[in-house]
Chain A
Amino acid sequence: MDQKEWPLWEVFIRAKQGLNHKHVGSLHAADINMAIENARDVYTRRMEGVSIWVVESKHIHANDPHEQSALFEPANDKVYRHPTFYVLPEEVNHM
């Protein structure tokens, strides 16, 4: 019998309305339906979510880790990119 492994899926859960879907982990499943049901069973048992996204892991593309310094280090000394030079009025919360 053919013993091929089921493909791997990445799971994203939205914890409540208004928040972003957040990556929570991965799992194996034969197709989309099974992936969503498996995600429901594995990742939302303790009321962690109100919405599930799954995407086959092969569709996620990552940057080359060897380019770390070229991609990210130039941002290190650009403090002026943070909006920290403004004085905010007291009434403005959550900034």
Chain B
Amino acid sequence: MTTQSEHLFDFVLQLADNSMIIGQRNAAWCGHGPILEQDIALTNITLDLIGEARSLYQYAAQIEGNGATEDTVAFLRDARSYKNLLLVEQANLDWGNTIVRQFFFDVFHYYSLQALCSSNDPQLKAIAEKSLKEVTYHLKWSSEWVIRLGDGTEISHDKIQAAVNGLWDYTHECFIPSNADSALNVSGIAPSLEDIKTLWNKKVLEILTQATISIPSQTFAQKGGKQGIHSEELGYLLAEMQHLQRAYPGVEW
């Protein structure tokens, strides 16, 4: 691969892995949601995310060539080659933590897709246009839950505040450009993370204020996900997700 197509491959994986990993995390709620209606809501969101990841993995496989497929890219790569943000691999813990993780990601995801709708890369543009409609709903859904629980009872407020405090350090990584982010921004394929950061801060402040949740003051950034340096969590997640294809290569049903 040329340097440019290596950057494109890495960038597509960053996008795909984010959606895949948070989708896999959310999928663990299937059958365990707090009420039936929200169990279905989160499962719908999960399927949107995994659907988006599939389109992106197909594109990544096409760039990689050598007989790669969406399945080999998703199921036969080790944690070190996964390029998702550390934010999305964090454990579900309780419903409040899952909601806050989803909200932080949705805001980033929404503005990233919005910017990708004017990408120079026609394939990424097409995928972004399709997914943006879905993610518009994800963001509405998670924002309403953050407000509902944050501005809810004393217990729900404390749980959301604790989740915001716990996940805050993982949000900054969204805006720290990888080599692929920087190179492709120059060529008009990838969005400007500076612009997205401004939009992200504005939206998060707006929703957390409505939710009576205070924004943590710490600015320490947990980072490394885009370079494949992950928390221990991801290994267990991939072990479960990839088990079937690893144990029975090429299995279909």
- Residues of A whose CB lies within 8 Å of any CB of B are 1-2, 6, 27-30, 33-34, 37-38, 40-42, 45
Contact = CB atoms under 8 A, between A and B. Distances in A.
Interface of B: 35-38, 40-41, 44, 137, 140-141, 144, 148, 153, 155
A27 B38 CA distance: 11
A6 B37 CA distance: 12
Contacts of B37: 27-29, 38, 41-42
B35 A41 contact: no
Contact of A41 (B44, B144, B148): B44
Nearest to B44: A41
7 contacts: A2-B153, A27-B37, A28-B36, A28-B37, A30-B148, A34-B148, A45-B44
Nearest to A35: B37
Nearest to B41: A41
A2 B156 CA distance: 12
B155 A1 contact: yes
Q: Which 9 A-B pairs have the closest CB atoms?
A: A38-B37, A41-B41, A41-B40, A41-B44, A27-B37, A42-B40, A42-B37, A45-B44, A28-B35
